[in-house]
Amino acid sequence: MPQDNPYRCVGRGMPRTDSVAKVTGTAQFTADIPAHRCLVGKILRSPHAHARILSIDTRKAETLPGVKAVVTGVDAPVKYGILPVSQDEYPLAVEKVRFIGDEVAAVAAVDEATALRALELIDVRYEVLPAILDPHEALVREDVKIHERAAEANIERRVHLVFGDLEQGFAAADYIREDRFFKDASSHAFLEPHSALAQYHDAKLTLWTSTQVPHYVHRSLSKVLGIPMEKIRVIKPALGGGFGGKGEPLPLEFAASLLAVKTGQPIRITHSREEVFLTHRGRHPMEMTLKTGVKKDGTITAVQFSSLLDGGAYGSYGVVTMIYSGQLLTAPYRIPAYAFDSARVFTNKPPCGAQRGHGGVQPRFAFEVHLDRIAADLGIDPLEIRRRNAIDPDTVTVNELRITSCAFKACLDRVAETVDWKNKRGKLPYGKGVGLAGGFYVSGAAYPIYANPMPHSQVQIRADRDGGVTVFSGASDIGQGSDTLLMMITAETLGLFETSVRVVSADTETTPVDLGSYSSRVTFMAGNACRQAALEIRDRLLAVCAIKLEQNQEDLILREGCLFAKGTPEPLMTFAEASVLAEASGVALCALGGYRPPELAGSYKMGGVGPSPAYSFGAQAAEVEVDTETGDIRVLKIHCAHDLGFALNPLTATGQGEGAVAMGFGETVLEHHGFRPGGRHNGPNFLDYKIPTCLDVPDVEVTLIESIDPAGPYGAKEIGEGSLHPSLPAIVNALYDAIGCWFHDLPLTPEQVLAALDRKEAR
Amino acid sequence: MKTIKFLLNGDAIEIGTRDEETLLEVLRNRLSMTGTKQGCDQGECGSCTVLLDGRPVLSCLTLAVRVENRQVTTIEGLAVGGILHPVQVAFQEAGAIQCGFCTPGMVLTAKALLERNPHPCREKIKEALAGNLCRCTGYKKIVEAVERAAKRMEETDAPG
């Protein structure tokens, strides 16, 4: 819970800087940007799950009046991919298609109807190949290769890591339990469909795109199009939700760019809702096993984990997802010996990638339910087994993750209190129950996606002549509120009013590099870079003023838009006047701050995935009710306590927690990104893929727990992703309390609940 | 093709439309009123909600010809003379906006609700907003914003 706040700006709930634009309709998302003579682009997609392309004839489409250009794989046969180890995508298919929806060709036309008509006129001849839809089949089918680069069958990558003495750990155990779990795919389902607007003028390409990662898009466009980076400008306009689904370069961005270069006219491609689902990059279906040894009192002695990731048709972020799945199980509980085996396979389905809570959500669900089962077997209270094993601050995990600030126990105690654990667990009438779970997550990956020694975030601040400052940052505000945080950090550090700080962000031409909005890195890294730049401006300003006023620099402070001598109520001059002094003295009030994490990699291969400069911790308690006649699950309330270091903006921080819990709730009981035999999507729309409405969501109570991280900006860490992890297992564990049934497969359906009740009765 | 006349945020509009053209297409593509969002084009997400004679409708499922001689209100028409509507202020203050893509539809739906029922209970608010999807907020702050707006409108309306 936020303690007494010593600050004037940070730590206070503040509406977003863009909220007036968003509430009046003037905020421009990519699809809203006007462009003179703009063409409409549409993408032709594969009707087959797996096929060889024999020929593509675009002549008829090209001669249709109103069609300005058609592009296919031959126009840019250059591979790319978000990870350097997984460069396996083309903007448009070359030789093969690998899922129903794979991009084959794109057209630019004067209007949508003409573009759609042109797609029908493109004649593609395919040789249909056998499709692999089952990840187990993908593990062994050598005769069908989705990608030639898979050395063994269709396995993209395996990982096997052992930490500590596993044998001894299990030998020291009084009790060992093994379980299997499965978590099916979910999709981001952001409200704004992907959109890209490209323009090519004077040998320069400008792309406005709904991306979380303008810098990576910039690099990839240059590689694929063969245009130098200085001749490409990527701008992220207002963005309508990402959650990982806009976190990597995507085919529509290349297709729009290719068509713009070819036609010389602006062109926009906006996905239909169906295309959003087919583009996917969502949560990997993951099959998991867990084996854990414990002492009689519940103390963990060893854990063994395995995961099989159904990756879909391309690499995307999958290798990281796979490594994370094992690496992120070693907290928030002490585990002295640990091993994991994981594999990611290709299948002929839309590619999976990163989704909010990336890599850790499925294993966290598995582990927390597994831990509750162990507690039940040993007759230990689930809260107690967690408290006994809970990790402390300033420790190192068995796989060498450096834990600094950590208020996990406080999170557990808080939700136990708010849910009234003592009086409710095991004591509610049949059909009602409470359950809890813990979790933790990275505040930014310690290593960039492509190896380089430069800062992960840079922020530039420039004083303006009106007494305000402008902050330039490459960070992408995707709805999480990063522009507002940068404004607040700057205002706090420079003693300015919020209205005196403007933020310009996510434009590769005008803002310094930030790696993007993924892995919960922005508050921590861009926040630190911003604070550093602001401190530099402050020091330059104070140094000049100290000389002019013949005072010690240490005795001067900036607050409320003015310069003060410490301990005096009357200002010496305004910030604007101080800026004039500095500029007139030839001191440039323009500074660049940067943040690069310390060296944190583990001393083993793949030890660079998992480390973070800081980790958030959290616990949640769910209250559920089951209709034992219909199998219907009602989640009444979820209590969420999250250690976010310091709440820079409690209003947006609680909003992140509430949204994450709602998403976790959705993928526990509603959302199923499934496929029919043959590989066709179950229903790429909001009727079949059900995200929670406001009638579905449980009441969510978020408590912000502050541990003041020593390296975070004002002590802040992440909240947006880690607060999703405990939601799934907290609900599942509450169901056991309600009806005495365990569930190992998500998402849950009423049918599963009824079947479990039947099995229980039969026993 | 048919020429239709309607009032858009109080302004008289006369425009030729194709029979199959939706109100959403006319607003966004022909009149550059891009505050109304296209989220699914299938009537599932509520992002394209506008008010037709004060009632919320999905503009992606409404044929343009149907608004002949009627009043259409979009998000651009809510603030009068630069003064935000109480629902807009409440959404801002309550932190009910994250990415903002659902916001125009949410705000208009909430406004229509409060005009027909100035003191809705929490359940009534949720029922009214059930057709507007939001993926960011978990709806808690949106519902709070509507409650806040109701209170604010009551205070403004109070005599004396």
Residue A670 tokens read as 């509603």
- Amino acid type, B115: E
A 8-27 → B contacts, CB under 8 A = 13, 15-16, 18-27
Cβ A23–B91 below 8 Å, yes or no?
A: yes
| Both structure tokens of A310 | 């159904």
Q: Please, which residues 528-547 of chain A have a Cβ atom closer than 8 Å to chain B?
A: none
Q: Can you tell me the distance from the alpha carbon of A30 to that of A211, in angstroms, rounded to the nearest whole number?
A: 10
> Which residues of B are less than 8 Å from A654 in CB distance?
95, 141
Instruction: Name the token pair of B146.
Output: 């509507």
Q: Is A36 on the interface with B (CB under 8 A)?
A: no
Give the integer Cα–Cα distance in Å for A711 and A706.
Answer: 14
Cis amide leading into A332 (omega within 30): yes
HEC string of A229-253 equals HHHEEEECCECCCCCCCCCCCCHHH
| Nearest neighbour of A24 by CB, restricted to B88, B131, B136 | B88
Distance from C-alpha of A39 to C-alpha of A44, rounded to nearest angstrom = 16
Secondary structure element (H or E) that encloses residue A622, with its range: strand A615-627
Give the integer Cα–Cα distance in Å for A308 and A366: 13
Nearest to A694 among B76, B103, B129 (CB): B129
Strand order in the sheet with B55-58: B11-17, B2-8, B71-73, B49-52, B55-58
Characterise A244 by phi-psi region: left (phi > 0), alpha (psi -120 to 50), beta (else): left
Best mutation target among B80, B135, B147 (most A Cβ atoms within 10 Å) is: B135
Which pLDDT does position A364 carry in this prediction? 98
The pTM assigned to this predicted structure is: 0.97
pLDDT above 80 (res A497): yes
**Nearest Cβ partner for B133 among A24, A188, A686:** A686
Chain A hits for B90, CB-CB cut-off 8 Å, are none
Residue in chain A nearest B78 by alpha carbon: A24
Q: SS3 for A741?
A: coil
pLDDT over threshold 50, residue A685: yes
Q: Chain A residue with minimal CA distance to B91?
A: A23
Checking if the pLDDT of A136 tops 90, the result is yes
Q: Decide if A659 and B101 are in contact by the 8 Å CB cutoff.
A: no
How many helices and strands in chain B, by DSSP H and E? 5, 5
Please check the confidence at residue A3 and state whether its pLDDT lies above 60: no
Whether the predicted pLDDT of A2 surpasses 90: no
Mean pLDDT of A728-752: 98
Q: Does A695 contact B127 at a Cβ distance shorter than 8 Å?
A: yes
The b-or-e profile of A670-691 (16+ CB within 10 A means b, else e) is bbbbebeeebebebbbbeebbb
Nearest Cα to Cα of residue A360 among A337, A390, A326, A392: A326
A108 near A281, Cβ under 8 Å? no
Does A385 score more than 80 pLDDT?
Answer: yes
Is 80 exceeded by the pLDDT of residue A492? yes
**Nearest chain B alpha carbon to A187:** B135
Is B95 within 8 Å of A655 when comparing Cβ atoms?
yes
The partner residue sitting opposite B74, judged by closest CB among A25, A651, A659, is: A25
* The token pair that represents A365 in the structure block: 């669900």
Q: Does A689 touch chain B (CB under 8 A)?
A: no
DSSP for A535-581 reads: HHHHHHHHHHHHHHHT--GGGEEEETTEEEETT-SS-SEEHHHHHHH
Residue A1: pLDDT band by 50, 70, 90 thresholds?
Answer: very low
Closest Cα of chain A to B54: distance in Å?
A: 17
A239 is written with which tokens?
């963005």
Which residues of chain A have a CB within 8 Å of the CB of B80? none
Touching B: A residues 117-146, CB under 8 Å: none
Contact present, A323 and A359 (Cβ < 8 Å): yes
Residues of A in contact with B36 (CB under 8 A): 25
8 Å CB contact of B143 and A694: yes
Give me the pLDDT at residue B158, please.
58
Q: Name the residue among A437, A440, A360 with its Cα closest to residue A392.
A: A440
Q: Do B135 and A661 touch (CB under 8 A)?
A: no
Neighbours of A754 (CB within 10 A): 16
Rg, chain B, Cα only: 16
- C-beta atoms of A659 and B95 within 8 A: no
Q: Which residue is listed with tokens 């939706």? A: B22
Handedness of CA A19, A22, A24, A26 (dihedral sign): positive
A203 close contact with B: CB closer than 8 A: no
Region A443-467: mean pLDDT is 96
Q: In degrees, to the nearest 5, what angle opens at C-alpha A208 toward C-alphas A206 and A212?
A: 125
Chain B residues in contact with A25 (beta carbon < 8 A): 33-36, 74-76, 104
Test A240 with B37 for CB contact under 8 angstroms: yes
In whole angstroms, how far apart are CA B6 and each of A707, A729, B11, B66, B109? 58, 53, 8, 10, 21
SS3 sequence of A149-203: CCCECCEEEEEEEEECCHHHHHHCCCEEEEEEEEECCCCCCCCCCCEEEEEEECC
CB contacts, 8 Å: B102 with chain A? 191
Phi, psi of A401 (to 5 degrees): -75, 130
Sign of CA dihedral A700, B144, A692, A356: negative
Q: Does the model's ipTM exceed the 0.90 cut? A: yes
Q: If you count residue pairs, one on A and one on B, with CB atoms under 8 Å apart, how many are there?
A: 169
pLDDT band at A531 (very low <50, low <70, confident <90, very high): very high
**Chain B residues close to A18, C-beta within 8 Å:** 100
Which of B78, B92, B141 has the CB atom closest to A655's CB atom? B141
Are B42 and A700 in contact (CB < 8 Å)?
A: no
The residue assigned the tokens 């009632």 is B55
Other beta carbons within 10 Å of A96: 22
How do residues A574-615 score in pLDDT, each as one tens digit? 999 999 999 999 999 999 999 999 999 999 999 999 999 999
Cα separations in angstroms, B142 against A243, A301, A408, B96, B149: 20, 46, 29, 5, 10
User: With 70 as the cut, is the pLDDT of residue A188 above it?
Assistant: yes
Q: Is the CB of A659 inside 8 Å of chain B's CB atoms?
A: yes
For residues A491 and A467, give the distance between their C-alpha atoms in angstroms, rounded to a whole number: 12
Q: Are A29 and A237 in contact (CB under 8 A)?
A: yes
Q: Are B129 and B106 in contact (CB under 8 A)?
A: yes
CB contact under 8 A, B104 and A652: no
Where does the pLDDT of residue A5 fall: very low under 50, low under 70, confident under 90, or very high at 90 and above? confident
The verdict on a CB contact (< 8 Å) between A659 and B100 is no
Q: Is A243 on the interface with B (CB under 8 A)?
A: yes
In whole angstroms, give the CA distance from residue A391 to residue A397.
9
A5 φ, ψ (degrees, to nearest 5):
-95, 120
Report CA B107 to chain centroid distance, whole Å: 5
Q: In which order are the strands placed within the sheet that holds A590-595?
A: A501-505, A469-473, A457-463, A590-595
> Residue A61's Cα: distance from chain center in Å?
39
State the Cα–Cα distance between residues A22 and B75, nearest whole angstrom.
10
Q: What is the pLDDT of residues A613-642, one digit of tens each?
A: 999 999 999 999 999 999 999 999 999 999
Predicted confidence at residue B160, as pLDDT, reads: 43
Q: Which positions in chain B touch A190 (Cβ < 8 Å)?
A: 99, 101, 135
* Contact (CB<8Å) A687/B104: no
**CA of A175 to nearest chain B CA: how many angstroms apart?**
40
Cis peptide before A571 (omega within 30 of 0): no
Most B-contacting residue of A22, A210, A699 (CB-CB within 10 A), to test interface: A22
Q: Is A97 helix (H, G, I), strand (E, B) or coil?
A: strand
Q: CA-CA distance, A691 to A711, in Å (whole number)?
A: 37
Average pLDDT over residues A558-579: 96
Contact between B150 and B94 under an 8 Å Cβ cutoff? The reply is no
Q: Which residues contact A63 (CB under 8 A, 6 or more apart)?
A: none
State the average pLDDT over residues A474-481.
97
Looking at residue B85, its amino acid is H
> Which residues make beta-bridge pairs with A619?
A438, A641
Residue A3 forms contact with B (CB below 8 Å): no
For A18-76, the pLDDT digits (tens) are 999 999 999 999 999 999 999 999 999 999 999 999 999 999 999 999 999 999 999 99
Given CB atoms, is A32 within the 8 Å cutoff of chain B? yes
User: Which residues in B lie closer than 8 A to residue A659 (C-beta atoms)?
Assistant: 98, 135-138
Question: How high is the mean pLDDT of chain A?
Answer: 97
Pair type for strands A232-235 and A204-209? parallel
Mean pLDDT of A650-676: 97
Residue ranges of chain B with pLDDT lower than 50?
A: 160
* Distance in angstroms (rounded) separating the CA atoms of residues A368 and A386: 9
What residues of chain B lie within 8 A of the CB of A270, using their CB? 38
Compute the distance between CA of residue A495 and CA of residue A487 in angstroms, rounded to an integer. 12
Min distance B16 CA to chain A CA atoms (Å): 17
Total residues belonging to chain A: 763
Residues of A in contact with B61 (CB under 8 A): none
- Asked whether the beta carbons of residue A241 and residue B88 sit closer than 8 angstroms, the reply is no
Instruction: Name the phi and psi angles at B13, rounded to 5.
Output: -120, 140
All residues of chain B having their beta carbon less than 8 Å from the beta carbon of residue A272 are: 41
